[in-house]
Structure 1
Amino acid sequence: MLLTALLDPADLDDALVAPSGRHSRHDLLGWAAAIARELAAVPIVAIDAVPDASTVAAVAGALLAGVPIVPIPPDAGTLERQHILADSGATLIDVDRDARETTIPAEPPASRPALVLYTSGTTGKPKGVVISRAAIAADLDALAEAWGWTAADTLVHGLPLYHVHGLVLGALGPLRIGGRLTHTGRPSPEAYAQSSGTMYFGVPTVWSRIAGQPAAARALAPARLLVSGSAPLPAPVFEDLLALTGQAPVERYGMTETLITISARAAGERRPGQVGLPLTGIESRLVDEKNALLPADGSTIGQLQIRGTTMFDGYLRDGAVTPAPLTDGWYTTGDVATIGEDGWHRIVGRASTDLIKTGGYRVGAGEVEDALLLHPAVREAAVLGLPDPDLGERITAFVVADPVSEADLIAFVAERLAAHKRPRAVRLVSELPRNAMGKVQKARLRDA
């Protein structure tokens, strides 16, 4: 069963707490069952994935019915919304908040598609990623093992309910593993501090804001796990959270196409700037541009490939699924990374924007960003390579900072990294463009 805990006959008061109210497990199951009954003859369904209990109930109902569901970002523009609906062929539904049902459908086959999650469209129109029930179950079970996640946990987060982080981990996790879920509507420091939990999920922007409000951060000290993902967590934020809460955050890595595949362990070491070890059922490796295997020596940068039990089925195209582009079962993530001799992974960034080839050297943008963030005046930093007739690419930093000179920042990095890794140019900006998950949109910086 995919939704094992939801189908548990033992009721749980306040299994789901959301801005619209509180729901016991019994009530949530009845709500989901009523939605499942309405979807029995629908091939594929879409919902407006508002950050509330209705989205959790709708996704659970579709999974009970065995109907693939497409969550649409509530702030999607007209063109994006039209593209998702036309591309998926999904029927958009309104969620009845009052209907309840006692009859539970039979469990669908594990191989059946569960979700169609649309990517952010950074390299073209958003693509529908088809994820099976089996992949979701395998991922959540592996994370439960890695994080010691049990039915005794209360998870708190305010992440969007249309991505892997907020929806698969943050909503379906408690419905499979058990425990309580508090969704705060928005992931503000105040909302997190006011919600009592044993686990908190956030993206780096959320954790940076929490670390910037020491009282809110200290309120999370009783929790046993603070999880950061969806983008690299700056080392200074990692250290601030450790100092304020008494525990280092757990970082993890994944993609829409692979779900979560690499993570630090709740009972193990946690290292700033590194995302840990492959989960159970997952293998990883580094290759070069010709797909030749690279060494796991902690310094060689290569393309990260993943294979295992959490892979997506493929991309949805005009009602049909185009198989996932795998080579001997390996999926090329598009990210570049290093893997240490002990198996620990450091994600350098996207191959298209974060692997900079300058003057014959290969430089990871993340290493330069981390160095810049050590400067007391720097609040945010994004580094990319811009075309240069002499170097091939010129390391260029976009920085949000208190008053500081370009020369000071370049010298600061040069003192801490090899000379060829220093920025050749620094541009001070008021803010960095980010998407809904807090990832810096470097393509927009490049275009600007």
Structure 2
Amino acid sequence: MSELFPALDPASDRPALRFGERGLTHGELTAAAGSLAARLGGASRVALWATPSLETAVGVVAALLAGVPVVPLNPRTGERELAHIVADSVPVAVLAGAGDTLPEALGRLERIDIPVAAAGPSSPPGGGRPVPAPPGAAAGPPAPGPLDPALIVYTSGTTGPPKGAVLPRRAIAASLDALADAWAWTDADVLVHGLPLFHVHGLILGVLGPLHRGGEVRHLGRFSVEGVARELSDGGTMLFGVPTMYHRIAESLPGDPELAKALAGARLLVSGSAALPLHDHERIAEATGRRVIERYGMTETLMNTSVRVDGTPRPGSVGTPLRGVELRLVEEDGAEITAFDGETIGEIQVRGEHLFTGYLNRPDATEAAFDGDWFRTGDMAVRDEDGSVRIVGRKATDLIKSGGYKIGAGEIENALLDHPGVREAAVTGEPDPDLGERVVAWIVASDTRTPPGEDELADHVAAQLAPHKRPREVRFLDALPRNDMGKIMKRSLGGG
């Protein structure tokens, strides 16, 4: 088997995947994914219509078994953003569930319906021919190497369209093995989550993680407090979520003793993608006797740090560097900070086998992202005496973390400026008790006497980009504050 799936066993009847009432054992997954992998072998790259479904999980396993890089696509992405991703990554086909309706931006790609059962030798999966190999490719693709691309995950750019972070196979295996060490993650664990499957948290940690260990993942389809209680009460041992989810859990706990009992019985509660507010930490701990642990990662680095399962949970800390991860803090001038005093702030830089290899088609952006072989994360932090890391904010003010998503202000501004009723636009993030941060748009209307409606602008952004990027508030100004160089001063707007 692949180094990414060393525990997949074609003879095993142990559960591997469950999405609602649908599921596959490890043996059934091996057969279904292997059948599709045989068709994909030799393809240069495929896109994956990443719905929260059994098909998405089978599709990504099949492509990785075949050594074919995967570009996960957010089904709620707007046409313009989706067209950019397709033009930039140039997949030869798109994998999708048989019942999925695909947007026009994917119309020119060959569609391959993902099977959830192995097809016979006379019935190719998806009902079609093998995906053609690139011109000049040798018959029978060689086994992929550790630095060969596994996934290309698009990140929200702060000043332009999304960039594709190329994640090699080595990075995925290294990060998952390091988490297994920190969390004592084994094949006996049953992971519960309701995260989207087009980004690192939901797809790599939430699907590939359990399969890498030989365990089981139960996806809720759509997050609900009731679903969490049901699955944790029925054998679930781990819960992955973002602060928005844990906030809703904390809100529900006072009137739901069954939820409290289910959480108390879990082995591990993990939060990531943004800081979990102290108030929610305390409410969950008081009601359940369990502490939520936090970890820190990003698309380009996968996981960097985590509170260990055998350590002392510390609200506000993302723990210590994972096995194999080197981490340092640096001053603005690049000088390394050696203090472990809980006070001296520096930018986090990391290096190790868990890193991406670069941004697709963007050597300029790749070069700018590194200081030698250290990756510049843009996150500012302090280190306590025991080496644990506390993140205090972003180096820039243009990255908004809302509901578990990382959102670039620049692309929202560009979408707003496409609206005929908008003359100038700036976007900032503000604290929100549910979302972590909410997107706020500051608008100078083309005609101040008849400005566009707030809902109209929010819907315009959602249609162009994705619903979670829409402004939650719109504030109108006569002019945006600018410095002598004409740059918008976001700090004057409350954006940091």
TM-score, normalised on structure 1?
A: 0.77
Correspondence for 1:135 among 151, 160, 171 = 171
Indicate if the aligned counterparts of 2:348 and 2:381 stay in contact, CA closer than 8 A: yes
Contact 2:76–2:466, Cα closer than 8 Å, also in 1: no
Match of 1:199 in 2: 238
Q: Per the alignment, in what secondary structure is the counterpart of residue 75 of structure 1?
A: coil
Q: Choose which of 276, 293, 297 in structure 2 pairs with 1:233.
A: 276
Change (3 A) 1:137 1:440: farther
1:403-418 equivalences in 2 (<5 Å): none
Confirm or deny that 1:285 pairs with 2:328: yes
**Cα distance, 1:350 vs. partner?**
1.1
More deviation, 318-327/40-49: 318-327
Kindly provide the CA deviation profile for residues 253-310 of structure 1, in whole angstroms up to 9, marking residues without a partner as x.
0010000010000011110111000000111111111111223321011111111120
**Partner residue, 1:359:** none
CA deviations 1:72-94 (Å, max 9, x no partner) are 00111111111111110113233
Q: Aligned equivalents of 2:375 and 2:243: distance in 1? A: 26
Q: 2:286 aligns with which of 223, 237, 243?
A: 243
After TM superposition, the structure 1 stretch with the greater mean CA deviation from structure 2, 119-128 or 40-49, is 119-128
Between stretches 136-145 and 102-111, larger displacement belongs to 102-111
User: 2:4, 2:169 within 8 Å by CA — same for their partners in 1?
Assistant: no
Q: How does 1:87-236 map to 2 (within 5 A)?
A: 87-90=88-91, 91-93=93-95, 94-98=112-116, 100=118, 107-195=143-231, 196=234, 197-214=236-253, 215=256, 216-236=259-279
Instruction: Show structure 2 runs of 5+ residues with no match.
Output: 96-111, 122-139, 402-428, 435-460, 476-489
- The size of the alignment, in residue pairs, is 381
Give the drift of 1:165: 0.7
Pick aligned residue for 1:337 from 378, 381, 386: 381
Amino acid at match of 1:223: A
- 1: distance between equivalents of 2:22 and 2:218? 10
Quick one: distance in 2 between partners of 1:252 and 1:230? 8
Report the Cα distance in structure 1 between the residues aligned to 2:470 and 2:19, rounded to whole angstroms. 28
Other structure's SS at 1:212 match: helix
Corresponding residue number in structure 2 for 1:26: 27
Distance between the aligned counterparts of 1:125 and 1:354, measured in 2? 14
**CA–CA separation in structure 1 for the residues paired with 2:207 and 2:194:** 11
Question: How far does residue 212 in structure 1 lie from its aligned partner after superposition?
Answer: 0.9
Structure 1 position 14, deviation (Å): 2.5
Where does residue 81 of structure 1 map in the other structure? 82
Q: Is the 8 A contact 2:3 2:173 kept in 1?
A: yes
Q: Name the CA distance, whole Å, in 2 between partners of 1:25 and 1:105.
A: 25
What is the one-letter code of the residue matched to 1:198?
A: T
Amino acid of the residue matched to residue 92 of structure 1?
V
CA contact (8 A) 1:69 1:116 kept: yes
1:270 to 313, 318, 322: 313
1:35 maps to amino acid? L
Match of 1:309 in 2: 353
Q: String of CA shifts for 1:88-117, please: whole Å, max 9, x gaps.
A: 011323333255159999852222110000
Distance 1:252 1:290 in 2: 27
CA gap of 1:76–1:341, structure 2 versus 1, over 3 A, is same
Give the distance between the partners of 2:376 and 2:330, measured in 1 at CA. Answer: 9
Cα distance in 1 between the residues matched to 2:329 and 2:165: 24
Could you report, residue by residue, the CA deviation over 1:33-52 in whole angstroms, capped at 9, with x for unpaired residues? 12212212320100110001
* Cα gap change, 1:302 to 1:438, in 2 (>3 Å): farther
1:137–1:441 Cα change, 3 Å = farther
In structure 2, the residue matched to 1:62 is 63
Q: State the distance in 1 between where 2:154 and 2:13 align.
A: 33
Name 1:404's counterpart in structure 2.
Answer: none
1:299 aligned to which of 326, 340, 343: 343
Q: Match of 1:71?
A: 72
Distance 1:244 1:354 in 2: 36
CA separation of 1:137 and 1:438: change in aligned 2, threshold 3 A: farther
What secondary structure is seen at the aligned counterpart in 2 of 1:37? helix
User: In structure 2, what is the Cα distance between the partners aligned to 1:115 and 1:221?
Assistant: 35
Distance in 1 between the 2:365 and 2:45 partners? Answer: 13
Inter-CA distance 184–274: structure 2 relative to 1 (3 Å threshold): same
Cα distance in 1 between the residues matched to 2:471 and 2:223: 20
* Residues 414-434 of structure 1 deviation map (CA, whole Å, 9 limit, x = unaligned): xxxxxxxxxxxxxxxxxxx99
1:158-216 Cα shifts (integer Å, max 9, x gaps): 10111111111100011111111101111211111111310000000000001111123
Amino acid at match of 2:393: G
The one-character-per-residue Cα deviations of 1:324-357 (angstroms, maximum 9, x if unpaired) are 83223211101111111210100112111299xx
State the alpha-carbon separation in 2 of the partners of residues 285 and 33 from structure 1.
Answer: 42
Tell me the amino acid that sits aligned with residue 212 of structure 1.
E
User: Structure 1 residues 159, 190: CA separation in 2 closer, same or farther (over 3 Å shift)?
Assistant: same
Measure the CA separation in 1 of the matches of 2:192 and 2:226: 12
Structure-2 separation of matches of 1:304 and 1:323:
17
SS across alignment from 1:237: helix
- Residues 225 and 266 of structure 1 are in contact (CA less than 8 Å); yes or no, is this contact kept in structure 2? yes
RMSD (CA atoms) = 3.4
Higher relative contact order (CA 8 A, sep 6+): 2
Distance change in 2, residues 1:397/1:324 (3 Å): closer
CA contact (8 A) 1:164 1:259 kept: yes
TM-score (norm 2): 0.70
Amino acid at match of 2:317: Q
**What's the % identity of the aligned pairs?**
47
Tell me which amino acid in the other structure corresponds to 2:181: E
Per-residue deviation, 1:118: 0.4
Q: CA deviation at 1:125?
A: 0.8
In the alignment, is the contact (CA less than 8 A) between 1:313 and 1:324 conserved in 2? Answer: no
Q: Distance in 1 between matches of 2:317 and 2:269?
A: 15
The letter of the residue matching 1:12 is: D
- 1:257 corresponds, among 296, 300, 315, to 300
| 2:299 partner letter | T
Unaligned regions of 5+ residues in structure 1, if any?
A: 356-364, 367-395, 402-432
Is the deviation greater in 18-27 or in 190-199?
A: 18-27
